[in-house]
Structure 1
Amino acid sequence: MKQTSIEDKISTISRMKERGVFNNYIEYMVFPYYKNLVPGTKIDFAFPLTVLVGKNGSGKSSTLHALYGAPYWHSCSEFWFSTETDPIVETGGNGRNRFFYGYTENRNSGIKEVMKTRMKRGSKTKEDDPDYWETSKPIKRDGMIASKRNDPVKRDVIYIDFRAEVSAFDKIFHFSKGNLNEKKALLRSRSKYLNRLFNGEAMRFPGQPDDKVGTVIELSEDNRKIIGNILGKEYVNIKIAEHSLFKNIGTSIYVKTKTSSLYSEANAGSGEVAVIQLVKKIEDASEYSLILLDEPEVSIHPGAQEKLKMYLLDAIIRKKLQIVISTHSPILIKDMPNEAIKLYITNERGKFEVKGDINYQEAFFDLEESVDEKKVIFCEDFAAKKLIDNILIRIEKEQFFDVEYNPGGEKTLITKYLPSFTVHELFREKIFMILDGDMKTGYTFEEEKLTVVQQKDSTYLNNCVKSAYGTEVEVYVDGGAGGSRDDQKCDAYLRYLRYYNKNVYYLPDGLIPELILLESSYVEKEFSHVLKKYDSVDNFNAKKVICDISKEDYGNEDHINDVIARLAYKWSIEDGPKQIYFIKMLNEIFEK
């Protein structure tokens, strides 16, 4: 069966929105006076998946908090409240924090506007609350069209802050106080009870009856397939436990894949835990729910981010959800329609403006510091990224770079990313590629030797591009790809070739990163018996050797990335010609 493309999903959702199938839908939100947003800021939610993009501290999370507080029985004071160290100062009148929004109940209803205002509540019958938000009467000077006070929208809300999604194990092992041995002892002593909980056995936990210790839910086959598709694994079983076995209330997972034995969150990546919880919450959500996701890309590799985006679009179609995301990920905004993207920028007075209806490439251009303050290196896979990351740490330049890898490999980087990377001078100054050594063509491009005829011959320049990159790269001219503007084709091909000369680097000696890892002294010492299984180790079998090491260390292949990360660190602290090559290459990029 042919998979539905992102364009098809977006088109389907747009038609659904036009037909009015999304009930209790928040159409827009206006902020007459709210935190550090420019007074009067308006955000339209024209597309049911809205992506908030901008630098840290620019108001994206504050917008999610306002959306959380919009429906009945919800308040943004759960996230934003006044303390002596961080008081919320208000002057009253125009200076009172407030926002209003317009929503449609169904396809036959008009817009209903609701104002929510922060005010102190206190009376003989109600508990004092200095951070109380309530529905207030319409304020015409704020631009409201409502003539009467309307009830807030009635809908379920799910808010997930992925920076705060920490498993029960991580809460103890990584974020609690105490020395390491004490934390290990606690986890060892309590793990037997967690095992009983997952297996449905009698707990006999000291001081508490069995039904008070925790609950376990086993995910359905459909949910396992969704999670497996996002993470690239085939799950046989997934259980989620909410419990207080590790002192505080927390979440644990217990999973089995087709290639592994059972393991808990202690041996799962944080991204795996986050995706499992995200899918469960969205699949459990009722139709027409409002889903708010704060930086869902945290700890999730780029390939999974792309699958996650497709899943969210599919969930909108199936369950008629409205989803709003705060993100720094270019992958999550790529290919989204202009009306879905909201860019948060800082004006000259330090206030935050929200720019709507922009192209995803413009949003990518402004994302975080990855383009205008840092250099960005794109490589082919996780192993190459870890080699680069560790050498950057060694030469103390990691703060000047963002290193990203594309699971689609070299072909995707060149055919899909290259046209965007070369379109603007700032991109060409800041974005570089480091490709595997076996992709190096050895082609030399000397622009100064081109004749006038060659400079204007698109067929000749296209052949030069194919010789340089080893593949054809499409160009985009007026009228779309394959148009007839020959002069624009020549300009594009020349940009590709200049980028090849200045911005494209390769791993040394025609090697792939896995083989570089295996050539370290550490591997020779610790895993010589694995290497001896092969007549020779080369580019063709290096990845299999890494798998063999993973099987030896962990009993399966599910921890290949853990093995790669360890080997990359050990390799990076050695002194040899490959390390010198990397240091020279990265310093050269840094100086450009």
Structure 2
Amino acid sequence: MALLRSAPSHSLVIIDEVESSLHPRAQRRLMTELFAISKERKVQFILSTHSATVLEQLPTEARVYIQTQRKGARNVIYGVTPEFAMSLMDDVDHPELTLYCEDERAQTLVDALISQESPEIRNRVAVMPVGAASTVRILGELASKDKLPNRSLGILDADQEEGAGCIVLPGSQAPEKEVFGALDETMWEKVANRLDVRVADLLDAVDDARQIKSHHAWARKVAERLGPRVRVGRVWEDMASVWSKEVVDPSERTVFVEAISQRLIE
């Protein structure tokens, strides 16, 4: 650390396997130190790592996965999630089809749509959050050219346009805006029954949540208002289930899931 702190301002420092010999707590402390040096001395760091702990400390724009292809070609994928990067680096069995979506909220909607329309294929696919829409587009394009290790398909949020190797979720808005805006009082009552809470309490929580500027925080705010026994994930899962069954046009749901089924048999 003393050596790094003495590096001239605006230096470029490259560290291979930055986590080597360090346990997770030490890895987090090291990353904190590197962030401080980078900010104070304008030093740029390029790190290689196989550590989920290190990846989790990095901001999205700092994560770059370099995938080596046969004959030496490389795919450079920016903004990947730690989970996606680790899955590519791990030697595990792959499902028949991997669906790449933006985040956990979209992942839940995809699960709900498949379970509602064609539950028999659910165990044949894996739905993986990978990051921003730009990352999904890159992966979709690579999938369309058969440049990924397994059969894949990109799933973009409804506020995005289709791209090569990608399909779009039903609707026209980001997942939280789409679901919160589409459920009427009757549907909220069904969500309340699933959560085993009073519908009036749920509606109050929803009204409070929608006052928050960032829609990404809405589901968490609802869970906080309903009390500690209600998980954020459960709130969103029950909302997604009601939305996929009661709101999404059956023909639109069928088209969406059939695109996934078609990719399974290609």
Superposition TM-score tier, normalisation by shorter sequence: 0.5 to 0.7
2:195 maps to none
| Corresponding position of 2:107 | 385
CA deviation profile, 1:174-232 (whole Å, cap 9, x unmatched): xxxxxxxxxxxxxxxxxxxxxxxxxxxxxxxxxxxxxxxxxxxxxxxx949939x9xxx
Alpha-carbon distance in structure 1 between the residues aligned to 2:221 and 2:256? 31
On the 8 A contact 1:530/1:545 being kept in 2, the answer is no
TM-score, normalising length: structure 1: 0.28
Measured in 2, the distance between the counterparts of 1:306 and 1:418 equals: 25
Alpha-carbon distance in structure 2 between the residues aligned to 1:561 and 1:391: 17
Deviation readout 1:138-177 (Å, 9 max, x if unpaired): xxxxxxxxxxxxxxxxxxxx9xxxxxxxxxxxxxxxxxxx
Please name the residue that 1:137 is paired with: none
Tell me, what secondary structure is at the counterpart of 1:590?
A: helix
Match of 2:248 among 569, 574, 577: 577
* Correspondence list, 1:183-582, <5 A: 223=25, 226=28, 307-310=52-55, 335=66, 364=88, 368-370=92-94, 374-394=96-116, 395-396=118-119, 397-406=121-130, 408-415=131-138, 417-418=139-140, 420-424=142-146, 427=148, 430-440=151-161, 500-501=163-164, 503-518=165-180, 519-520=182-183, 524-525=188-189, 526=199, 527-533=202-208, 542-554=215-227, 559-572=231-244, 574-578=245-249, 580-582=251-253
Displacement, 1:404? 0.3
Task: Give yes or no for contact 1:383–1:513 (8 Å, CA) kept in 2.
Answer: yes
SS in 2 for 1:508: coil
Cα distance per residue 1:267-289 (max 9 Å; x no partner): xxxxxxxxxxxxxxxxxxxxxxx
More helix by share: 2
1:552: how far off? 0.8
Distance of 1:517 and 1:306 partners within structure 2: 35
In the TM superposition, residue 568 of structure 1 has moved relative to its aligned partner by 2.3
Cα drift, residue 580 of structure 1 = 4.9
What's the CA shift for 1:398?
Answer: 0.6
Q: Deviations over 1:359-408 (max 9, x none)?
A: 998x95996553xx6111111110110111122233212122111012x3
Contact 2:140 2:166 in 1 (8 A): no
Aligned pair count? 203
| Compared CA separation, residues 310 and 551, structure 1 to 2 (3 A) | closer
Deviations 1:324-363 (A, max 9, x none): xxxxxxxxxx54999xxxxxxxxxxxxxxxxxxx9998x9
TM-score with structure 2 setting the length: 0.55
Q: Distance in 1 between matches of 2:218 and 2:207?
A: 10
Partner in structure 2 of residue 590 of structure 1? 261
When residues 586 and 543 of structure 1 are mapped into structure 2, their CA distance, relative to the original with a 3 A threshold, is: same
- Where does structure 1 lack aligned partners over 5 or more consecutive residues? 14-47, 50-157, 159-221, 230-304, 313-333, 339-357, 441-467, 469-499
Q: 1:551 to 1:11 in 2, by over 3 A?
A: closer
Change (3 A) 1:565 1:577: closer
User: What is the rounded CA distance, in whole Å, between the counterparts of 2:27 and 2:149 in structure 1?
Assistant: 40
Shift in alpha-carbon separation, 1:414–1:400, aligned structure 2, 3 A: same
Letter in structure 2 aligned against 1:308: T
Q: Larger strand proportion, structure 1 or 2?
A: 1
Give the match's secondary structure for 1:434.
Answer: strand
Q: Is the 8 A contact 1:437 1:508 kept in 2?
A: yes
> Are the equivalent residues in 2 in contact too, given 1:382–1:561 (CA < 8 A)?
no
SS of structure 2 residue aligned to 1:437: coil
Amino acid at match of 2:246: D
Question: Which letter does structure 2 place at the counterpart of 1:9?
Answer: I
Q: Given the superposition, is the C-alpha separation of residues 515 and 375 from structure 1 closer, same or farther in structure 2, using an over 3 Å criterion?
A: same
SS in structure 1 of the partner of residue 159 of structure 2: helix
User: Residue 16 of structure 2 aligns with which residue?
Assistant: 10
1:429 shift after superposition = 8.6
Shift of 1:307: 4.2
Tell me, what secondary structure is at the counterpart of 1:563?
helix
Change in 2 beyond 3 A, CA 1:579/1:383: farther
Please state whether the residue corresponding to 1:392 is helix, strand or coil. Answer: helix
User: Residue 569 and residue 419 in structure 1: after superposition, are their counterparts in 2 closer, same or farther (change >3 A)?
Assistant: closer
Give the aligned residue type for 1:411: S
Identical counterparts, % of pairs: 12
Change over 3 Å in CA distance of 1:392–1:311 after alignment to 2: closer
Paired with 2:28 and 2:17, the residues of 1 have a C-alpha distance of 22
After superposition, the C-alpha distances for 1:420-450 in whole angstroms (9 at most, x for unaligned) are: 434436x49921111111122xxxxxxxxxx
- Sort the Cα spacing of 1:376 and 1:364 in 2 relative to 1 into closer, same or farther, 3 A: same
Per-residue CA deviation, residues 239-284 of structure 1 (Å, 9 max, x unaligned), is xxxxxxxxxxxxxxxxxxxxxxxxxxxxxxxxxxxxxxxxxxxxxx
Report if the CA contact (8 A) 1:378-1:405 is conserved: yes
Output the CA distance in 1 between the equivalents of 2:123 and 2:228: 36
